[in-house]
């Protein structure tokens, strides 16, 4: 067996399709985000502007967050030293879970080392515990939800993206006696659209299903206290499980689920991805705690971000750039070809000091490759004007079609 050849061929296939991933080597400048430095090439770190961070509100740079992390580091040291069951259940963890349960109006919450793990571990565990459970999953659900659903071993039914009628068709055709779980996201981050949460909850009531909502791209961002779209629409109480991350709008790291006490107890007691792993470092939990508390009380960051997103969408549209329809904080620009998307991104970085990552298959379907901009409250109007001008120049140089 020529292992080397097989591995090399696997990588060659990615190059041939133009979707080999190159990680851009950067350091953010604390206190002046979105400014950062890039270590690509040989002429030393060069200044860049970051346009694709999921630290949507720059909370990773917030003085309260950094202060809390510094204090935790000095008071209790670096790591937690154990799993939650064996020595790693620090008071920071307990406090943050209470804060997150309150954020979503639930009886309890449970922390994981990432949003990915929270989805995988919870979906696999909850569904496995329900005998004969059928999972109804939106076709655009995140890879971590798909992994969890697969690991549950349950029957899976895929409904068309955000399609209430199709979901109902599938629910109506299923065995009325079977337990059912409907799994979906609120904000789909690649298409920048929002699920019809109320209608999905109505169907859950009608067909006696439980619901699982991934609010990863919405927590911190929407709702008066940052509880996500479910808070904004007054629907949190109708959802069985709400899942979120601490790594995007909250600017730190980690994931969680919030639900009734008994469900939290089941996940805590049965999910291998929760049980058999060292708990989050207290310093991370302290930072997340400060961030969640801050965004519960302050909407300044959310409002600034929404204003930036609206401004950038308007500028792109006015310049004739193919900005995709978006009712959210994300601004995707369609390119439709993996090689061109990578080339635009390379030129932006090399010639304009603009960093935006191309998004390729499997993150998005083939033929819909795009650039995904995430303007934050600290992106200035001048930065937006420069970015728009650069894109118009590159679009013309590469003879990419402008919007009709």
- Enzyme catalytic residues: 248
DSSP string, 272-308: HHHHTSPPPPHHHHHHHHHHHHHHHH--HHHHHHHHH
What one-character DSSP code corresponds to residue 147? Answer: H
Alpha helices in 77-112 (DSSP H): 91-103
185 near ligand PLP, judged by CB under 6 A = yes
Residue 400 is given by DSSP the state: P
Q: Which segments of 138-217 does DSSP mark as H helices, in order?
A: 143-152, 164-173, 197-206
- The least CB distance from residue 193 to ligand PLP, in Å, is 13
**Least CB distance to ligand PLP at residue 195 (A):** 11
Q: Give the x-and-dash track for 305-344 against ligand PLP (CB under 6 A).
A: ----------------------------------------
Q: How far is the CB of 248 from ligand PLP (least distance, A)?
A: 7
CB of 2 to ligand PLP, least distance (A): 35
| Sign of the dihedral defined by the CA atoms of residues 54, 57, 58, 63, in that order | negative
31-39, 86-94, 108-116, 301-309 -> range binding ligand PLP (CB under 6 A): 108-116
Residue 61 touching ligand PLP (CB under 6 A):
no
Q: Distance between CA atoms of 364 and 9, rounded to whole angstroms? A: 23
Strand order in the sheet with 331-334: 331-334, 370-373, 358-359
What would the x/- binding string for ligand PLP be over residues 230 to 249, using CB under 6 A? Answer: ---------------x-x--
Residue nearer to ligand PLP on the CB measure, 179 or 228: 228
From 114, 122, 186, 374, residue interacting with ligand PLP (rule: CB under 6 A): 114
Residue 142 binds ligand PLP, judged by CB under 6 A: yes
Residue closest to ligand PLP (Cβ): 115
Question: Which of these ranges, 113-121, 171-179, 220-228, 300-308, lies near ligand PLP under the rule CB under 6 A?
Answer: 113-121
d(CA 147, CA 123): 9
- Report whether 148 contacts 120 (CB < 8 A): yes
Residue with smaller CB distance to ligand PLP, 231 or 337 = 231
Q: Which of residues 248-267 bind ligand PLP (CB under 6 A)?
A: 255
Crossing angle for the helix pair 91-103 and 282-297, nearest 10 degrees?
30
Q: 313 with 326: CB under 8 angstroms? A: yes
How many residues form the binding site for ligand PLP (CB under 6 A)? Answer: 13
> Could you say which residues in the range 206-225 bind ligand PLP, by CB under 6 A?
214, 216
- Would you say 214 and 230 are in contact if contact means Cβ atoms under 8 Å apart? no
Helix 338-352 crosses helix 381-397 at what angle (to 10 degrees)?
130
Residue whose entry in the numeric block shows the structure tokens 């140089």: 397
Chain CA centroid to CA 142, Å: 9
CB closer to ligand PLP, 125 vs 245: 245
**Contact status: 144 vs ligand PLP (CB under 6 A):** yes
| For ligand PLP, the closer CB: 210 or 216 | 216
Give me the residues that bind ligand PLP (CB under 6 A), please. 114-116, 119, 142, 144, 185, 189, 214, 216, 245, 247, 255
């Amino acid at each position: 067996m020529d292992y080397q050849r097989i591995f090399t061929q696997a990588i060659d296939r990615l190059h041939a399709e133009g979707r080999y991933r190159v990680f851009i080597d950067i350091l953010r400048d604390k206190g002046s985000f979105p400014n950062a430095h890039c270590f690509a090439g040989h002429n030393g770190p060069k200044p860049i502007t970051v346009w694709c961070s999921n630290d949507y509100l720059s909370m990773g740079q917030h003085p309260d967050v950094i202060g809390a992390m510094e204090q935790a580091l000095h008071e209790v040291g670096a790591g937690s030293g154990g799993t939650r069951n064996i020595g790693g259940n620090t008071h920071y963890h307990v406090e943050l879970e209470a804060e997150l349960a309150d954020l979503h109006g639930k009886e309890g919450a449970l922390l994981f080392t990432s949003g990915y793990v929270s989805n995988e571990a919870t979906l696999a565990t909850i569904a496995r515990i329900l005998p004969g459970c059928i999972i109804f999953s939106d076709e655009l659900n995140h890879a971590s939800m798909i992994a969890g659903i697969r690991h549950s071993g349950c029957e899976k039914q895929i409904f068309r993206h955000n399609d209430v009628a199709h979901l109902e068709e599938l629910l109506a055709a299923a065995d009325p006696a079977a337990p059912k779980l409907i799994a979906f996201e609120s904000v789909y981050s690649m298409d920048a659209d929002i699920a019809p949460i109320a209608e999905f909850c109505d169907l859950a009531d009608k067909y006696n299903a439980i619901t699982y909502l991934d609010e990863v791209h919405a927590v911190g961002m929407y709702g008066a206290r940052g509880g996500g779209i479910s808070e904004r629409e007054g629907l949190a109480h109708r959802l069985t499980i709400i899942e979120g991350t601490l790594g995007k709008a909250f600017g730190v790291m980690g994931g969680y689920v919030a639900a009734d006490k008994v469900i939290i107890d089941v996940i805590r007691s049965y999910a291998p991805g929760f049980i058999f792993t060292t708990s989050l470092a207290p310093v991370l939990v302290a930072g997340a705690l400060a961030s969640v508390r801050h965004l519960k009380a302050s909407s300044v960051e959310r409002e600034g971000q929404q204003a930036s997103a609206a401004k950038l969408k308007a500028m792109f549209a006015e310049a004739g750039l193919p900005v995709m329809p978006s009712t959210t904080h994300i601004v995707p620009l369609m390119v439709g070809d993996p090689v061109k998307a990578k080339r635009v991104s390379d030129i932006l970085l090399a010639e304009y000091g603009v960093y935006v990552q191309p998004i390729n298959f499997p993150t998005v379907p083939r033929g819909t490759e795009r650039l995904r901009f995430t303007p934050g409250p600290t992106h200035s109007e001048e930065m937006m004007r420069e970015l728009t001008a650069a894109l118009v120049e590159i679009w013309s140089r590469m003879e990419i079609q402008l919007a009709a």
